[in-house]
Structure 1
């Protein structure tokens, strides 16, 4: 057993795998206590956009910490939160008029579900059924697990999870099966459909085309069913546009954002809602208020980081960096696709993925720990999803580091 009292997430301590001690970070690199430089090829779990320890974001955090570190947000407000809300209103779809703060992707999703159910209740026509997309992942709180794929991730908690209606993933050539299933499910008057737009993340980096997303949105609108977009992973340029929904011309009723909201520096999330959802809760009756909060809702330090991130998006050529990274990855992925043992090479924006078939598949594949160790020994932070290896780097990663990442994946195909 380890001498450390820390219980790490998604870590089986019984395997005795090494847990490196990271002392500092800069750009696309992490540095460990034993002097190693680690290329962060997955943005430290998909959060770091502009690079680690970004000077503008770090300075905003330090400045805010010396001014106002924390204040209850129920009935009080502060300037960083106002700056973030107005900044989001300026760049997000105009129909999303309201900004509700929370502290993680999971809680942003929980908030979205509660908003949807409250909307129907306060309209006097309660609805409770949630539609979900097969293989989806939306977080690890109870509501988020309930609407995600069932399996080893949540088997122990099955008695706590509520039932949902699952729509088949729109695999290539079988898109109509998905749309037919959605049509049937919509006929039962569900409350909402929640999806990860264009790419299912933890479910295996599975992609589907914008026209399917657009059709699902239109079907929900025609049926009067709320449409929730979980852009916790896909937002902030990951798919090549600010939001993945943009590529389908889709505006959701409710939008979940986190991860890159602060550039990945500190935890913060928002759930943005359309005006009808807000108005359903708006009344002189206190019993109709939206009952959700946490002690650190809209923490001023986290909001200062988000405000700095929004300033970077306004004032720097972030989309240009993303476009360049997309092309740099495309060239390398094309070459990797020809390596024996590599299958199903795919890319959407700055996210690239391949499958390394062979042996057991799935998240608990015996091959996954071997791949993880292989990349760790080569000073790369790559965390396979079973036998799926993906690359989702900070936008500042240089060519040398990208070359190392793709070369290592090619070597790993021969393991």
Structure 2
């Protein structure tokens, strides 16, 4: 096993990484057989390794990259901010980038008073704590339970993992976690034969109603990934579920938390997925694409009524939560540059056109005899591999790398979530690579 005393060549980045870096979501021993790519730089949707080989970043570097690597406009914004202030604590101070970003996010979401963290799990923790604290301040401390969807994913810190329903991540840490309740997922793949996605979603919403009818008095919030459950294998469902969930949360006085960490900023075809259901959540969690894949940042915004419940003379009534790099100016400037690009380049409209064209380019993949449940929403495409055997994801990953594509299936699900700057030619290349990997 690699150890710290081993000597490697100065440019042997893979060996040095195995010896010194603990990689995320990885059984480190597997890196002996499947070494990580040593990336030297990036250009648009392409990753370039230390030997100069190019790989199409088909999953946007874990769903964070929107406008390509080394985007000149985001680069310029960060460079400009470097000459002003790199960081200042947000307790007792403020700065222009965090104020401007908060104002713009408020206008875009219809919510307000953005609270910042550094990653998606932090945003989940913030929203859960805010919800429970809200009810405590309202004199209903018993309302501290949480509901989430079966197969849902909301992060891997202890609080976030408590409302996650992925056994691989959760089971080991079960003794550390707080109990939560999972209700049936409206994942359209689970509908009965002949049942529409809408009808199935409404049937699943009936289960949510049944739970709330009995347990609303002890429930703080229902947290949900709107429209697409990422770690569940890009499980997609009908927007009517969100519409009904909003009605039920209002009826039973339970908060609705929209975890838009992965699906926000245009991934589902609208800036925020909740827009497709015509709803506004009580809390929205944002991260990943918020900085275009540049710097760690997350935000939670809530309603004016939610904010007002914490406002008062007693310190303990305030939301006493913090992160050292809360509202980091460099990250906020990157996020502002991302919002500028959305606005100046009419990205949502452009993506709608690309979505149609890219779906056409993937038609042969959808028709492949191994593909099942080919599905698509906005700039996300996915399908399940019917005859996948153990080790499929790793084999597919390696076969795609040989074709110049960086892609990592989730179990037996292959998905594509490319940067928005990807072209039709690049998507055609991606489709060809997927077909070759499926045929290998």
**TM-score w.r.t. length of structure 1:** 0.96
Q: 1:194 aligns with which of 216, 223, 236?
A: 223
Aligned 1:361-376 pairs, distance under 5 A: 365-376=390-401
Aligned-residue RMSD, C-alpha: 1.3
Distance 2:387 2:244 in 1: 36
- 1:159 equivalent to 2:175? Answer yes
Distance 1:284 1:12 in 2: 50
| Residue 155 of structure 1, CA deviation | 2.1
Aligned to 1:98: 113
8 Å Cα contact 1:119/1:280 also seen in 2: yes
| Residue 169 of structure 1, CA deviation | 0.8
Distance 2:21 2:247 in 1: 47
Aligned 1:2-401 pairs, distance under 5 A: 2=2, 3-4=15-16, 5-15=20-30, 16=32, 17-93=34-110, 96-126=111-141, 127-170=143-186, 171=188, 172=191, 173=195, 174-187=200-213, 188-189=215-216, 190-360=219-389, 365-401=390-426
3-state SS in 2 of match to 1:152 = helix
| Residue 102 of structure 1, CA deviation | 1.0
Q: Deviations over 1:31-50 (max 9, x none)?
A: 11011011011111101111
Distance 1:349 1:314 in 2: 18
Distance 1:394 1:266 in 2: 16
Distance 2:105 2:124 in 1: 18
| Residue 324 of structure 1, CA deviation | 2.2
Aligned to 2:6: none
8 Å Cα contact 1:199/1:206 also seen in 2: yes
Task: Kindly indicate whether structure 1 or structure 2 has the higher relative contact order, using CA contacts under 8 Å at least 6 residues apart.
Answer: 1
Q: Deviations over 1:250-290 (max 9, x none)?
A: 10000001111111111111101001111111110011110
Query: Which consecutive residues of structure 2, in runs of 5 or more, have no partner in the other structure?
Result: 3-14
Distance 2:356 2:202 in 1: 31
Aligned to 2:11: none
Distance 2:359 2:400 in 1: 21
**TM-score w.r.t. length of structure 2:** 0.90
3-state SS in 1 of match to 2:223 = strand
Q: Deviations over 1:13-69 (max 9, x none)?
A: 212112111111111111110110110111111011111111111111111122101
8 Å Cα contact 2:87/2:330 also seen in 1: yes
Distance 2:341 2:277 in 1: 25
| Residue 154 of structure 1, CA deviation | 2.4
Aligned to 2:9: none
8 Å Cα contact 1:132/1:166 also seen in 2: yes
Q: How many residues align?
A: 409
3-state SS in 2 of match to 1:31 = strand
8 Å Cα contact 1:351/1:390 also seen in 2: yes
8 Å Cα contact 1:321/1:396 also seen in 2: no
8 Å Cα contact 1:134/1:166 also seen in 2: yes
